[in-house]
Structure 1
């Protein structure tokens, strides 16, 4: 009950309104005095509390002596609130992304260094989320959890054209990972290529990210604490890399058709 009350408070109800609604979900229909008693709400406050819940369409009231208050289904009420909150978040994302992208475009030297595996993966996911038409990647290695994060990001962007040139395998924590197999059931075009120790992500021919890391002496495992991402928003550079990527991809596809 405490968790439900806390959740209702977070989405806009007062403490007393949350207590009254949660109590009425078990009573289904009841009088103000019984609701006040069961919910621990002062009788002097209960009518204002119930009036607030009626205004917010959480409960209904039926005429009579005394008045009878009936709860509305949590599926209806909370489903409506969930849609409202999601809509507000979507609007906020749209507005803030517009401000963010305008701000980024005015930075004189649009190159940033990103340290740490988690931050690098998060930046890759963000670039994919903001891509408008295409994402091209060279994958010669993966960090722990990165493959799953990329797959999840691609799944959210149905319709985005994704091409990957990848080494067949890499090693994560001494275990061999089949990169081609990892992506084979996803909606991406992945081709086997010779790209050892390299990772590049290019979005819309406008921005790109190189990821560098040191490897163990046997050149199998990455050393995560050495990872650095170079995020580059120089369009000329990104476009040149993208053209080279597409030339290599087209050659591999023609070769594989023979």
Structure 2
């Protein structure tokens, strides 16, 4: 990265241009006198002491007392990690503050579905879904849109992707071991696109816009496990199950343990391996809603448009485990961890 780019990024973190120059200079020189910083950086002598004092207050510089006084740069990893922690804390505090403000006015929590205006904003939200997912991402969209988010897809090797599109051929960036691809079966998929990340976020929109309508484009953004669970069900039963599998999962090459949150994704993954399969499942007993963890083996599964569950042998008995909202099974599964 060029020095001008580093200075620009430091300014985004709250440093002035002179402060950025002084810190970079100290990183080059090591502990130095103010006059040396002035000579190397070009910062006016009349300003350099104020600049170094400000850097000290902000945690970028340590002052070594003596004659002459020396200024030492704080390790970049230390100072940047502290900025990161403070930034994350500020964001979390703002979230709480915004929710409190909303409740004061409306007397209720924020709505679970929002409207997003503008196609570029929709692309950014799709990238965010992929970037923040911890377990799995389900995508049903035209290949044209996949191309717009390919960098995010390509960068995530630690989650499972299930992707449906109008593929003609499979590009290299979609050939990862963690990717399952299906070629759309036709009709309904043209009318809607889905990008679903775990049970945390889901993005839904219709046909891609023409250039003149990009700013008037609308998509829908959901943040509700119950709603997203329904979206996941529709994703599999309406789209994936009616499409042609063209690239399987390479289960044997994936790092273990492998965590998933949707029962149909779990069963889809199990279809690419052999049973029994060691697993740990966290959830709640359907009858009492008490938390339960099953540590055992998945020995079979059932998968139909109406039913999806696995049979787990654990604790000397067999348990039927479904997904969120289960009522026929023994356990409502919330997290599924394949151990090997």
Structure 1 equivalent of residue 124 of structure 2:
122
The answer to whether the aligner puts 1:211 opposite 2:202 as a matched pair is: no
Taking the aligned partners of 1:198 and 1:92, their CA distance within structure 2 comes to 36
Instruction: Give the match for residue 165 of structure 2.
Output: 166
Match of 1:245 in 2: 235
Shift of 1:168: 1.0
Say whether residues 1:78 and 2:69 are aligned partners.
no
Q: 1:58 aligns with which of 58, 61, 73?
A: 61
The alpha-carbon distance between structure 1 residues 161 and 41, as it changes in their structure 2 partners (threshold 3 A), is: same
Residue number among 102, 110, 124 corresponding to 1:107 in the alignment: 110
> Pick from 218, 221, 229: which aligns with 1:228?
218
Work out whether residues 212 and 227 of structure 1, in 8 Å CA contact, stay in contact via their aligned partners in 2.
no
Alignment length (residue pairs): 232
Cα deviation 1:92-124 (Å, max 9, x = unaligned): 44555577789799235x333222210111122
Query: Is 1:201–2:190 an aligned residue pair?
Result: no
What SS does the corresponding residue of 2:88 show, helix, strand or coil?
Answer: helix
Of structures 1 and 2, the one scoring higher in RCO (CA 8 A, sep 6+) is: 1
Structure 2: gaps spanning 5 or more residues:
249-270, 272-340
The equivalent position to 2:182 in structure 1, one of 191, 213, 219, is 191
Judge conservation of contact 1:54–1:61 (CA < 8 Å) in 2: no
Provide the alpha-carbon RMSD of the alignment.
Answer: 5.0
Cα distance in 1 for residues equivalent to 2:22 and 2:202: 53
Report what 2:88 is aligned to: 90
Shift of 1:61: 4.0
* CA 97–188 in structure 1, closer or farther in 2 if over 3 Å, else same: farther
TM-score by length of 2: 0.48
The residue number in structure 2 matching 1:174 is: none
**Secondary structure, counterpart of 2:110 in structure 1:** coil
Structure 1 residue 212: deviation in Å? 1.7
Q: CA–CA distance in 2 between the matches of 1:91 and 1:206?
A: 20
- CA deviations on 1:167-215 (whole Å, 9 max, x unpaired) are 115xxxxxxxx5x426423442222223335312233356532212367
